[in-house]
Structure 1
């Protein structure tokens, strides 16, 4: 259940029919904004910084939220067709600080850690007796005048090996009277009492009188305080943990409890519970512990006169990650049937969420399955995993990608677009089966489209690259995207295709690819006999190439003359009248020139270097680097792809498609991250707020350098993807997705596989004679 973080606010989930305009906003992913929001609420906290840290840790799971009633209309902006909060929005609308003291509880948000009652030196205690018809519960409260948190615990001594469930409440006067109003009989399901209980809803009136300590307890039925009608603010305490011995009794997820009497009992739960499956916390429970707890259940076979016989047999039915317990008593009655997970359309929710977590995190089912088997955790098989992929996960991924593409297409409209393109094989060597080409918008570094092309024996890789680029570009042109410039690596086929088919699109070569190619040639030349002096000139020549592309003012003649001038410079000649557009070096006098090894026309390396500098293809490519285009962010994306689609594993076309989309979504949601700052300084780090760096030793530079540390990647969109998969399972959303596997040949081999017996007949081994 979702509740508003503001203490005096009554809005909660499941009230859409009452408050159709109320939505719940998660706290921002910024500690300063979280601190600002908390201070705006006017609520007091024992330790504000601890609360900021706690909320910051729960931002991804959307644990803490504030409803839209606390934001003014000018704090919203339109993002496409959606109305969302502006990045710097702050809640400003709050009720009066003088809150009423009526009601059963008034509870503050607890601190992450609290003191146990027995650890405090409290001279005296009093008790509040909460009466529910004939069932009485003793609730102990502290009378010590503390400002914030005290303990209130429910006496559960009736059950052996159990543990008190604690909540934190404000110190207040104890209750001395109860009013009963609108008496109705209702059925209650709770985690302590396993039979149907009738109770009377109460309207409690708080008074300031104190009552002496009373210990009233029946041996029959005790209704835990967690089942009382609670105000909205108490839901925020559902994760408070008590520190004591025995079995820990936490609140039960009522949606997951299935009793034998459910068919005769009408209990309405709000549909908002299904929306919280993603954000709920999950636990690993040992079999003996849960069995020990279930043995304390008494048979409630007959509602009118319960059997109350002890449980003698517990049947377990395992379905993937879910186990269903069927309890039978001495008389062979079905005392209770309970499942460890909620179920949607007869499918355990945990199974689908586990399969989604494996895929969406870029993991391998085989490794996760091995981990579960080693740990002893029940899980499903490979065939079930593939069914979840095909039926729910792949459609959810493609649905999210279609929404992403709509936003991208809307952003590309009405402006000139500069694209960068590059491709990647699915694995290294000659065993590659797929080639993935991606196009990136250079304005915002977002991946705007991609295409997967299959390699065939009769289709060389050069043709595959051109085909993939062609289809990827045409997908954008069909949407009337105004593509002006496309930057790629150095394939001649792409350059020829653009010059003949789309002459209006300017083709640029990635300057980094060009510099890398020249560097390889220089390194190879420096290893030749008599050319070792070239080693000292490799870095200056590459820097000169980058400077030429950056300072040529998009003039092809100027960049060629600047590049040719390097042959004069390395010979210690810094004026060159023979060049038309560049006459002399721009640097000043060179100090210690006598200590530099110059390469003049008489040096043995001069002719070798001249062949590299005046290479016809290099001079032709230099005309296409005048805009200094660089596809370095595409290399970042390719590294991201390796997380979801490692080259050591083989995938079919559908998995290749889905995992590439996952990499694109993660990349597009984390572009241009800011450099991280020091939040918790240590004696080995810089001061608070300083930019973070890490020391690295690149193999190419052979020296230690400082590399900036960026903010952590935030993939909170994956929670929405898991929710989409659950909605597809429940039928709340529908999406048509067509598999591509039927259109792709089974393999790229030139020869069909014969029957296995024929292969075994030809098998020979040198060890067996």
Structure 2
């Protein structure tokens, strides 16, 4: 999804939000107002501070000279610097409390948390919602001209079946850009186990309402998703990595059993075979034929009964390490895992071209904007999901970085799954953050002068009740009295 700038309706020179800022010590600043510029005598100086804003009133009782100085422009009754600080914290996915600790360490004057939340609800969240809808509408107009290949996946804000939020993301697999995010709260659908289906359902309904036709969708093997897409008659393929991960876990358990150590030597080969079957085949039955051939291959047999894949494509060579799989306990267990009915059905529907690995990368970006250790309100969570999508879409097409001599850059990576092994990854060029500047421009040039239309757009978003709304809420005084009496039992 391309990033569109806000449509500017006013001149930014009056607000000055683009001007440079400096850290000025109070002692050095007050030296400028101690003496009267007319008679050079001592002046009466009074200060007023609100957040990062400082106003100084200078008056000379000898020559009646007076002057008022302000540290930053003011819009109405709100200073530009206070709003811009709130915007910078919010739009970059930072934490107010982390910034507060930084300011306290430097003795910098800061806005209060209540002011930050007031700015967020009045200006910042409205800017994010409007900007996302603006970019999304432009993307849908392009996608409505052809059938789109999409990938979908759910991310929950906590592991297991205790999640409060689930965000379902749809990606255009041809451009690796996020085209829709649906945030679902667990009490909307009767539990967190139903959130993924509901998120996909809402996304597909949105695409349909915008005239976007789906060619096919690639997801994991979630049973509810399989059934729903089958009922909707939408072509559905499975991501290879999710199948490979499940098989690797099962093979890893078998490899730890007695007389099954040989399975460990074949694990990586079997994992690679899953990807090869998916990417080198033109039909589902061909994928299955190639997949089942691995059982013969492990026994050093390279001709097969299936006419779709009658012979292995690698050169026939004499194996130096003969690990005889035939009539062994290991072969029986491995064959049972690999030729399971459900596994064969899933192999037939593996995606040959596009996978959802880029969606997993997007989920790691979401973590920077919505850490799982922090609780966010519904609108706050939704806006930060949109910010993560804006950041991801802007940087999805980054090129590989080069050295000063023009050589492509690479780095070694040691993933946990490799268990000591390494991979080589290309180093990408530094990310950009143009969306942050566009959002700040939208706040000062469009929303602050007339926030009402943007607030109305925000208010159209349905907000589900809190999870605690279904519980009894006793008066605080009664709850405190019961709490104190419980701990005073047995005391005189």
Same fold flag (TM > 0.5): yes
Alignment of 1:299-448 (within 5 A): 308=39, 310-331=41-62, 333=64, 335-448=66-179
Q: For residues 306-357 of structure 1, give each alpha carbon's deviation from its aligned partner in whole angstroms, at most 9, with x where no partner exists.
A: xx36243211111111010111223595611111001112210000000000
The answer to whether the aligner puts 1:722 opposite 2:454 as a matched pair is no
Q: Find the structure with the greater CA-based Rg.
A: 1
Alignment of 1:757-768 (within 5 A): 757-758=480-481, 760-761=483-484, 764=487
Answer whether contact 2:412 2:425 (CA < 8 A) is retained: yes
- Which structure features the higher share of helix residues? 2
The answer to whether the aligner puts 1:566 opposite 2:280 as a matched pair is no
Counterparts of 2:151 and 2:36 in 1: how far apart (Å)?
Answer: 66
Q: What residue in structure 2 maps to residue 595 of structure 1?
A: 321
Alignment of 1:736-751 (within 5 A): 736-739=456-459, 743-747=463-467, 751=471
Alignment partner of 1:357: what SS? Answer: helix
2:254 to 525, 546, 549: 525
Answer whether contact 1:653 1:741 (CA < 8 A) is retained: no
Q: What residue in structure 1 maps to residue 364 of structure 2?
A: 639
Q: What residue in structure 2 maps to residue 713 of structure 1?
A: 431
The answer to whether the aligner puts 1:286 opposite 2:286 as a matched pair is no
Q: What residue in structure 2 maps to residue 692 of structure 1?
A: 409
Q: For residues 406-435 of structure 1, give each alpha carbon's deviation from its aligned partner in whole angstroms, at most 9, with x where no partner exists.
A: 221121021111110001012335542100
Aligned-residue CA RMSD (Å)? 2.7
* Structure 2: gaps spanning 5 or more residues: none
The offset of 1:597, in angstroms, is 2.2
Q: For residues 673-718 of structure 1, give each alpha carbon's deviation from its aligned partner in whole angstroms, at most 9, with x where no partner exists.
A: 1100013xxxxxxxx1100112222222223433210011111121
Alignment of 1:499-510 (within 5 A): 499-500=230-231, 502-503=232-233, 505-510=234-239
Answer whether contact 1:509 1:629 (CA < 8 A) is retained: no
Alignment of 1:575-590 (within 5 A): 575-577=303-305, 579-590=306-317
Q: For residues 112-152 of structure 1, give each alpha carbon's deviation from its aligned partner in whole angstroms, at most 9, with x where no partner exists.
A: xxxxxxxxxxxxxxxxxxxxxxxxxxxxxxxxxxxxxxxxx
The offset of 1:659, in angstroms, is 0.5
Counterparts of 1:753 and 1:322 in 2: how far apart (Å)?
Answer: 41
Q: Give the 3 Å change call, closer, same or farther, for CA 405–419 of structure 1 in structure 2.
A: same
Q: What residue in structure 1 maps to residue 196 of structure 2?
A: 465
Counterparts of 1:531 and 1:570 in 2: how far apart (Å)?
Answer: 13
* Structure 1: gaps spanning 5 or more residues: 1-78, 84-269, 300-307, 680-687
Alignment partner of 1:279: what SS? Answer: coil
Q: What residue in structure 2 maps to residue 452 of structure 1?
A: 183
Q: What residue in structure 2 maps to residue 511 of structure 1?
A: 240
Counterparts of 1:445 and 1:396 in 2: how far apart (Å)?
Answer: 24
Q: For residues 555-574 of structure 1, give each alpha carbon's deviation from its aligned partner in whole angstroms, at most 9, with x where no partner exists.
A: 12111111111111111111
Q: What residue in structure 2 maps to residue 536 of structure 1?
A: 265
Answer whether contact 2:399 2:429 (CA < 8 A) is retained: yes
Q: Give the 3 Å change call, closer, same or farther, for CA 758–455 of structure 1 in structure 2.
A: farther
Q: What residue in structure 2 maps to residue 663 of structure 1?
A: 388
Q: For residues 520-577 of structure 1, give each alpha carbon's deviation from its aligned partner in whole angstroms, at most 9, with x where no partner exists.
A: 1111221223222111111100111111111121x12111111111111111111123
Answer whether contact 1:675 1:711 (CA < 8 A) is retained: yes
Counterparts of 1:82 and 1:396 in 2: how far apart (Å)?
Answer: 9
Answer whether contact 1:427 1:647 (CA < 8 A) is retained: yes
Answer whether contact 1:421 1:437 (CA < 8 A) is retained: yes
The offset of 1:749, in angstroms, is 7.8
Counterparts of 2:298 and 2:461 in 1: how far apart (Å)?
Answer: 57
Q: Give the 3 Å change call, closer, same or farther, for CA 430–491 of structure 1 in structure 2.
A: closer
Q: Give the 3 Å change call, closer, same or farther, for CA 660–338 of structure 1 in structure 2.
A: same
Alignment partner of 2:416: what SS? Answer: coil
Answer whether contact 1:309 1:329 (CA < 8 A) is retained: no
Alignment of 1:15-164 (within 5 A): none
Counterparts of 2:108 and 2:285 in 1: how far apart (Å)?
Answer: 68
Q: What residue in structure 2 maps to residue 98 of structure 1?
A: none
Answer whether contact 1:341 1:349 (CA < 8 A) is retained: yes
The offset of 1:82, in angstroms, is 12
Q: What residue in structure 2 maps to residue 220 of structure 1?
A: none
Answer whether contact 1:487 1:631 (CA < 8 A) is retained: yes
Counterparts of 1:720 and 1:437 in 2: how far apart (Å)?
Answer: 26
Alignment partner of 1:295: what SS? Answer: coil
Alignment partner of 2:237: what SS? Answer: strand
Counterparts of 2:488 and 2:280 in 1: how far apart (Å)?
Answer: 66
Counterparts of 1:407 and 1:343 in 2: how far apart (Å)?
Answer: 34
The offset of 1:765, in angstroms, is 10
Q: Give the 3 Å change call, closer, same or farther, for CA 759–454 of structure 1 in structure 2.
A: farther
Answer whether contact 1:676 1:710 (CA < 8 A) is retained: yes
Counterparts of 2:191 and 2:99 in 1: how far apart (Å)?
Answer: 37
Answer whether contact 2:378 2:463 (CA < 8 A) is retained: no
Answer whether contact 1:417 1:481 (CA < 8 A) is retained: yes
Q: TM-score, normalised by structure 1?
A: 0.59
Q: What residue in structure 2 maps to residue 606 of structure 1?
A: 331
Alignment partner of 1:660: what SS? Answer: helix
Q: What residue in structure 2 maps to residue 234 of structure 1?
A: none
Q: TM-score, normalised by structure 2?
A: 0.91
1:274 to 1, 7, 14: 14
Counterparts of 2:180 and 2:94 in 1: how far apart (Å)?
Answer: 24
Higher relative contact order (CA 8 A, sep 6+): 2
Answer whether contact 1:397 1:658 (CA < 8 A) is retained: yes
Work out the number of aligned pairs and report it: 481
Alignment partner of 1:642: what SS? Answer: helix
Answer whether contact 2:33 2:43 (CA < 8 A) is retained: no
Answer whether contact 2:369 2:385 (CA < 8 A) is retained: yes
Answer whether contact 1:424 1:436 (CA < 8 A) is retained: yes
Counterparts of 2:482 and 2:312 in 1: how far apart (Å)?
Answer: 70
Counterparts of 2:243 and 2:369 in 1: how far apart (Å)?
Answer: 29
The answer to whether the aligner puts 1:557 opposite 2:285 as a matched pair is yes
